[in-house]
Structure 1
Amino acid sequence: MNKNCLLCGVGGQGVVLASKLIAYAAMEKGQQVRASETIGMAQRGGSVVSHVRMGEEIHSPLIPHGSADVIIAFEPAEAVRALPYLKADGQVIVNKKAVKPTTSTLSGQVYEGTEMIEYLKKTVQNLVVVDGDAICESAGSARVLNVALLGAAVASGALDVTLEEMETAIRANGKEQFFVMNKQALELGAKER
């Protein structure tokens, strides 16, 4: 059975690494994987989108609109922007903390993300809102947000990957000195489900 996962956020949040961890875990299970990233102005806080498709026979790396099994969103507005990709019964995992875009900062507009979370609650049937800040504080680093969101996605069942398989991917693709912290973030994220 094929799975489509769309990850989205802003530059510096770890979207690309999270997509690589998902791809690694799926390949270790013998699945075909195709992935593609759109990075654009990511280094300046711009949008980052990563498509990961896994299964027995995958031909294209891009997820068609209306066919993502799961959207993992590192930021609420990016989750809303990605909704056209979600299939009818798809799952959305979203970090509740907003990242104020440059345009909002320059114009003096207020953006806290709460209106986006409320919109998602009204629109998405299968929604998990993750308190990424609390998990990062418990784990000891803001750099584990991506792993926390992966923990919630794994626990939701939308990825067909176990926590143990994701731990293996983290160990194989990360620095050993950060493994314990990442494992804690993965487990805390899984509890958000």
Structure 2
Amino acid sequence: MTKSILFVGVGGQGIILASKILTEGLIKFGYDVKMSEVHGMAQRGGSVTTQVRFGEKVYSPLIGVGEADVLVAFEKVEAARWISYLKEGGSLVVNDYEIYSMPVLIGQEQYPQNTLDELKSKVENLKIFSAAEVAQDLGNIKTQNIVLLGALIKALGLENLDWEGVIKDNLPEKMQEINIKAIKAGMNI
């Protein structure tokens, strides 16, 4: 059976790195995997999505509306923006984190309020936590993407695979120890 994972967030949050580590790990463990990424205006703080599909045989990386088994939102408004892609009964993992768009920063718009309440009313299988706080406690806020990846791995029931080895294979040596801590912390949430 094919599983579909949609990562959503804002440029600079490490979404593509997290999805590449997931993809590399799944391939290493024998799954057929397809991945697609959309950068949008990523370097300007715009929306970024990656789609990862895996299973015995996968023909397309694309996830349609109502087809994602798991939606991983690196920023809470992005969760609300992409919620229609989550299938009924799917799981939503949300980073309780805010990144303000340029219109919000210059006072033209307000950051949406009550986003988490809206998500709670739409999704039964929901995990909300601050990956930023977890990453900060580990000593590097930039590892919140790997904390979220760890939470996703737990949600998928894949935590018994050798993710430490995958991190070592895909990150520079100086970044391995903190990211191994981050993925383990995510799996323990």
1:124 has 2:127 as partner: no
Contact residue 159 and residue 187 of structure 2 kept, 8 A: no
Q: Which residue of 2 aligns with 1:135?
A: 134
* 1-structure distance, mates of 2:79, 2:17: 18
1:168 has 2:146 as partner: no
* 1-structure distance, mates of 2:56, 2:71: 21
* 1-structure distance, mates of 2:137, 2:184: 11
> Which of 178, 184, 187 does residue 184 from structure 2 map onto?
187
Contact residue 76 and residue 97 of structure 1 kept, 8 A: yes
| Alpha-carbon distance, 1:161 to partner | 2.3
Post-superposition CA distance 1:74-119 (Å, at most 9, x none): 00011111111111111111100111111222234442x6511111
Q: CA RMSD in A?
A: 1.5
Q: Which residue of 1 aligns with 2:88?
A: 88
| Alpha-carbon distance, 1:164 to partner | 4.1
Runs of 4+ displaced beyond 6 Å: none
| Alpha-carbon distance, 1:168 to partner | 2.1
Percentage of pairs with the same residue: 37
| Unpaired segments ≥5 residues, structure 1 | none
User: What amino acid maps onto 1:161 in structure 2?
Assistant: L
1:65 has 2:62 as partner: no
TM-score normalized by the length of structure 2: 0.94
Count of matched residue positions in the alignment of Structure 1 and Structure 2:
189
TM-score normalized by the length of structure 1: 0.92
Q: 1:1-193 alignment to 2 at 5 Å?
A: 1-111=1-111, 115-156=114-155, 158=156, 160-162=157-159, 164-192=161-189
Contact residue 25 and residue 161 of structure 1 kept, 8 A: no
Contact residue 19 and residue 52 of structure 1 kept, 8 A: yes
User: What amino acid maps onto 1:162 in structure 2?
Assistant: E
| Unpaired segments ≥5 residues, structure 2 | none
Contact residue 151 and residue 163 of structure 1 kept, 8 A: no
* 2-structure distance, mates of 1:108, 1:136: 31
Contact residue 11 and residue 43 of structure 1 kept, 8 A: yes
Post-superposition CA distance 1:163-186 (Å, at most 9, x none): 543222211101122211111111
